[in-house]
Structure 1
């Protein structure tokens, strides 16, 4: 099949098959723009298989409901091995073929949806030309925060809106399972609370990658491992020309299994060296950055050091989803605490997008010769201002655990002049007075819905 025939076939196949039904996500892209020159470009970034394609379908179905005809919409997914090797001319071929098939779209205005566009060389320059010259509204997706942000800075200064998409939030998971979700400020009956706690346990076990939710637990784990392996192959090894793919896979597994714990690059370096695995500290640091760029995991530095050049060297790490952590944790592990902490981090990450470094950190402080740790500080590390302090503890029945968690928050509230803080638990709900104010113990299902 000639290359141009393949492009035309993909475009025609999509029109004939129609837009699939979708589970509507909460991610808001705003009101669609009427096609015109100099429109803002909508950019969706996130992990592979987290739902970016279906978020485009959701937008297309929205346009259909508003009376826009399907032959004015161009959807093209570049993640297709038949298109390799990718050439910069591919983008122009796709657009020219679409307008040849549907010439009226050029005059009436087209809605262009390009999926996984970062695969194509010089995509930024091409889209800039489209924005400058075509009557169009453009949506693009990609799986790399770094590549998209760097291209956008050079080609689309002030011309794009970037949105991050993650696997299902707990609220979306409940809606997926039940068809609805209660308002976060609703009064919950005991049966409502029991049902939501049941779904919380399910969410911590099964996570938010939709395609895995209808699988058996064993098959879901296999799928999640395949998602991670494919991401490493395409978005780490291939994109950054990593010379040791085995090391990239081994280190990812180590990172994923450490979700919710401190990951020391030096410690892993020494561990791998003792196992005769060729490695350098710089390579491990680079790989950790690549995983984060690909939305596989996130590093959470200490608040006072979050802007340092080596902030990742001993950060906590969190998988992009609690089930992704579970897919790499030891089978015998009792890991509900790590799963819950991972879910809380990802909720904070959604609520405080990474516009600047240090929006979500951990905190280590000393008070009266005692060391304390707070799991999460939401704030601004550049200004050294904290707006929220969050501790995660599955169970505070132990008096020692209770005293430790409250003491850490009390000391931190004093440092940042805050009058309240939060402990996210599996079950407990209480307002606990302390010297500096009040600590709110909140069941995780309620906190995650807020």
Structure 2
């Protein structure tokens, strides 16, 4: 018996395979390479997951796979409303009806976007992997299923690739100003332009739709992104009964980007204002915000779980452009924005990241444990022109190195004097170069 969606799905297949490949800014997203696994493309709303699926499709086409072997289908189509898992077989049958020579004979690739809109899709996806000669990519985000949960719902049959707002290099590429040579080979004029572009990136952020907008339009756009996350990914999904508390929490977290945050102190502040809320509820709200990719919290770098639990966490927004929306000081928060950008560069490299607080009371912004086993201590600074600032940052790295003697000590600064005297073992990196290269 044919599904009521068969003809519509067949038309969507015809349209998708006839559509020209979109010209999109190329993303530098790491992909796990494990045969037999689906790949779940995850990330915050509007970060570019759908665009990345099209990039993957275009890559396979450029590598020699004809368009008939590549299928992109978005289930975010009102004509597919009410579709059930039992109707998903109609997609496979419609595809092979159109391309019978591909069944069992050739390896095709399906890109299923917003798949979570179909209830019970998970067994269908697992069966595709088991019974058809199909490579499978999945993506989606909704109040029903966060993008992070697409992979976990596959019960070990899918791995994740995380799409974030543009990195600094990707933002330059989008603007047509990505350097065609190593940063150390730039002329003085090119270096000045690069530093100017970094300042703009730290202020405006990396969401694709926000690039090139005026300040008011960009603020309204980014605010709509945050509101969408709060309403659909947190309030609706978890049926929160105290939405105002959630908004106060977000204001506190994003209004103090790169700052320390304690649930206990925030809970005490709410109680002093007569707001009844359970401490566990606040912990859950913070976890929900992280699950929705709106922010990332960094714990103390230590092997002691207890020390991690009793010390505050440092909280960073998903994008530097969000800082201005919530910072009430009215001043450019460039130093914290740079710290946010450095953190996300470390996370993109696959590092496990914590912050350092030494027994002597010195703080280092990040301890990063890389997949290679290498360890970095990273101190971020806006301007090293002041000798006292330089001495303080270097001293913190030297103190932290006593705990991690094998770690490389990196000092990443936006403004670097022409000559800087550093003790042995301290590496100085210009921020525009370090962010552009993704690592030293």
Q: Which TM-score bucket, shorter chain as reference?
A: 0.7 to 0.9
CA contact (8 A) 1:265 1:281 kept: yes
- Tell me the secondary structure at the aligned position of residue 316 of structure 1: strand
Give the equivalent residue in structure 2 for 1:449: 436
TM-score (norm 1): 0.84
Q: Distance in 2 between matches of 1:320 and 1:121?
A: 29
Q: Distance in 2 between matches of 1:388 and 1:9?
A: 53
Q: Distance in 2 between matches of 1:195 and 1:98?
A: 50
Give the equivalent residue in structure 1 for 2:20: 18
CA contact (8 A) 1:347 1:448 kept: yes
- Residues 69-88 of structure 1 show CA distances to partners (whole Å, capped at 9, x for unaligned) of 33333212234456456643
CA contact (8 A) 1:305 1:311 kept: no
Give the equivalent residue in structure 2 for 1:362: 355
CA contact (8 A) 1:231 1:294 kept: yes
Instruction: Provide the aligned C-alpha RMSD in A.
Output: 3.0
CA contact (8 A) 1:298 1:318 kept: yes
CA contact (8 A) 2:385 2:415 kept: no
Q: 1:73 to 1:145 in 2, by over 3 A?
A: closer
- Tell me the secondary structure at the aligned position of residue 76 of structure 1: strand
CA contact (8 A) 1:125 1:155 kept: no
Aligned residue among 380, 400, 405 for 2:388: 400
* Equivalent runs, 1:272-283 vs 2, <5 Å: 272-283=270-281
Give the equivalent residue in structure 2 for 1:356: none
- Residues 119-167 of structure 1 show CA distances to partners (whole Å, capped at 9, x for unaligned) of 4444332211100001111111245465234324x241xxx44222211
Q: Distance in 1 between matches of 2:212 and 2:186?
A: 28
Note the C-alpha offset of 1:266.
2.0
5+ residue gaps, structure 2, are none
CA contact (8 A) 2:41 2:147 kept: no
Note the C-alpha offset of 1:5.
5.6
* Equivalent runs, 1:300-449 vs 2, <5 Å: 300-304=298-302, 307-308=305-306, 311=309, 314-330=312-328, 332-353=330-351, 359-367=352-360, 371-379=361-369, 387-418=375-406, 420-428=408-416, 432-434=421-423, 437-449=424-436
Aligned residue among 199, 202, 205 for 2:203: 205
Q: Distance in 1 between matches of 2:421 and 2:147?
A: 40
Q: 1:315 to 1:102 in 2, by over 3 A?
A: same
Structure 1 residue 59 corresponds to structure 2 residue 56? yes
* Equivalent runs, 1:23-422 vs 2, <5 Å: 23-29=25-31, 39-80=36-77, 83-84=80-81, 87-107=84-104, 108-143=106-141, 144=146, 146-152=148-154, 154-156=155-157, 160-184=158-182, 186-304=184-302, 307-308=305-306, 311=309, 314-330=312-328, 332-353=330-351, 359-367=352-360, 371-379=361-369, 387-418=375-406, 420-422=408-410
Q: Distance in 2 between matches of 1:124 and 1:226?
A: 31
CA contact (8 A) 1:386 1:416 kept: no
Higher mean alpha-carbon deviation, 330-339 vs 72-81, is at: 72-81
Q: 1:131 to 1:277 in 2, by over 3 A?
A: same
Q: 1:310 to 1:439 in 2, by over 3 A?
A: closer
Q: How many pairs were matched up? A: 427
- Residues 397-431 of structure 1 show CA distances to partners (whole Å, capped at 9, x for unaligned) of 33433332221111011221147512211111666
CA contact (8 A) 1:431 1:439 kept: no
Q: 1:172 to 1:284 in 2, by over 3 A?
A: same
CA contact (8 A) 2:71 2:109 kept: yes
CA contact (8 A) 2:414 2:431 kept: yes
Q: 1:415 to 1:213 in 2, by over 3 A?
A: same
CA contact (8 A) 1:413 1:419 kept: yes
- Residues 33-75 of structure 1 show CA distances to partners (whole Å, capped at 9, x for unaligned) of 9xxxx73322222111111111111122223334433333321
Q: 1:89 to 1:296 in 2, by over 3 A?
A: farther
CA contact (8 A) 1:298 1:320 kept: yes
5+ residue gaps, structure 1, are 354-358
Note the C-alpha offset of 1:287.
1.3
Q: Distance in 2 between matches of 1:352 and 1:396?
A: 28
CA contact (8 A) 1:285 1:313 kept: no
Note the C-alpha offset of 1:216.
1.6
- Residues 218-273 of structure 1 show CA distances to partners (whole Å, capped at 9, x for unaligned) of 11111111112212223222333333344334422332222211111122223334
Q: Distance in 1 between matches of 2:377 and 2:89?
A: 50
